Amino acid sequence: MPDGTPTGRFAPSPTGELHFGSLVAAVGSFLQARHQGGRWLVRIEDLDPPREVPGSAERILADLRRFDMTPDGEVVRQSSRQAAFDEALARLASRGLLFPCACTRSELPPGPYPGTCRNGLPAGREGRSLRVRTPDQPIVLHDAVQGEVTENLSETCGDFVVRRADGLVAYQLAVVVDDAWQGVTEVVRGADLLSSTPRQRYLQRVLDLPSPSYMHLPVVRDAEGHKLGKRHGADPVAQQAPLKALGAALSFLGHAPPAHGSLQERWNWALAHWNPERIPRSGATHTDRDGQTVYSSHERSEKDA
Q: Is 303 a catalytic residue?
A: no
* Active-site choice (227, 230, 244, 303): 230
Cα 213 to chain centroid distance, Å, stands at: 13
Nearest to 129 by CA among 160, 153, 161: 161
Q: Judge whether 154 and 136 are in contact, CB under 8 Å.
A: yes
Q: Judge whether 191 and 217 are in contact, CB under 8 Å.
A: yes
Instruction: Specify the long-range contacts of residues 75-80, CB closer than 8 Å, at least 24 apart.
Output: 75/42, 75/43, 75/44, 76/41, 76/42, 76/43, 76/44, 76/178, 76/182, 77/43, 77/44, 77/46, 78/43, 78/44, 78/45, 78/46, 78/47, 78/174, 78/178, 79/46, 79/47
Active-site residue list: 230
